[in-house]
A and B are shown apart, each in its own frame.
Chain A
Amino acid sequence: MKLKGTLMKRSNWAIPYALFLVLFVVLPLLLIGVYAFRTNTGSFTLVNFTKFVQQTETLNTFIYSIGIALITTCLCILIGYPAAYILSNSELTRGRTLVMLFILPMWINILMRSLATVALFDFMHLQLGEGALIFGLVYDFLPFMIYPIYNTIQKIDKSYIEAAQDLGATRTQVFTKVIFPLSVPGIVSGIMMVFLPTISTFAISEILTLNNKRLFGSIIQDNMMMSDTMNYGAALSLIMLIIIAITTVLSSSDSEELNEGGLI
């Protein structure tokens, strides 16, 4: 009888998943913190963090990654915003097919897309390197910028646009005074989906630069893969996590409603 009562309450149906989340999401993230402050033998230490600040190579890669990520993000906004705007404007385009074509590449394995970029550069006889890296990253992440912006503009209540026209705004003014300010949450969410993954990318930079340039993700991966530098790797992951946390908190105030509606 008691079991039946427990089942009856629908809120209890989430208990299995709640336990699962604790075990496979919360606990693992805490473990990153635990490992970051430990030596190989398990005693408490801060050496992993001092090593990060002192080892110029890692620090340089870190700064370089942020630079590359910034450039990639800016390019994605510059190229993606007009595309998203055109796609959401029913006077300029029709139908969902075009939108779908833009979103589709999002679902193709990022390794494959990077290899395809290499193929394109080979085909055009272009040198792989930094240029290829930035092109590849923009190519990989552009759909992730277009989609949230498109989604936000799409959801802007038509009556805001009419109200602005009614109050005397021309087409250009409707855009600058209403549509653009209201689409900012979409841009913020796009930045989240481009900037963070770019810093943490690994494998892609090696493929696109023939191992010449490495991003922060690659350093983390290298250290994680060897048991004697695992704790250092955990410390680098923790730094990454802190960046994620800061960016998320900064942007969440603007983009609360964005998670509705799913990805497709």
Chain B
Amino acid sequence: MTTQEKEAAEPASKVDLPQEQGGGGEIPTFDVTLRVRRYNPELSSEAYWDEWNLTMFGTDRVLDALHKVKWEIDGSLSFRRSCAHGVCGSDAMRINGRNRLACKTLLKDLDLSKPVIVEAIKGLPCEKDLIVDMEPFFQSYREIMPFLINEGHEPKRERYQSVEDRERFDDTTKCILCAACTSSCPVFWTDGQYFGPAAIVNAHRFIFDSRDDAGDMRLEILNDKEGVWRCRTTFNCTEACPRGIQVTKAIAEVKQAVLARAF
């Protein structure tokens, strides 16, 4: 028997917790007015606004306010959320007129002297409350073929890529398909025919990937009447991206690649 085994079992926590909680100071609370644009086609074809006064904590996000309403006040409020930590991209919504992820927007960062206005993202058909039909968005995404296409023989090991080659498209690998960019684009709002920033960002991710062979096909797809040339560089998409992708820059790079291919 070794000495180690004779020792007492390891404590549950190695950090000594104080007997009294709240040593770090109380989390401040404040009152928030939440204004949500409601829509329920089963009851009425008209949208209307609902308002709730909530007491929230300084660490709370807009998503927590929506949860508080749904769990404690009005269970009929509908919105999408999955991971609730800015990774899945389910809860993109228009918060105070800007497309944001509800799970990444802290209430304390908003102007709380006025109601916090929450709407569904624009340009996509609203199904209920904050839920929109994402199908047109994913349709554009599918059309740019967001998968690796390689003509060569399948290697037995992984496909090598230099650090520089990987760096070339690093920014556009961050997309979580939340649709915040596409639904912030005024060109997309008009008729939804434009491919939209998200589809172009994901095309960029493969066009500039040294392992991919179908960049030319994707450039041809985006040289469409509704492709990159409809971008008016208003930068709404870059401003809206919760992952900080330089969306407008990526679109400009695809434009240049289409031009370079033609001349």
Q: A and B: partners?
A: no
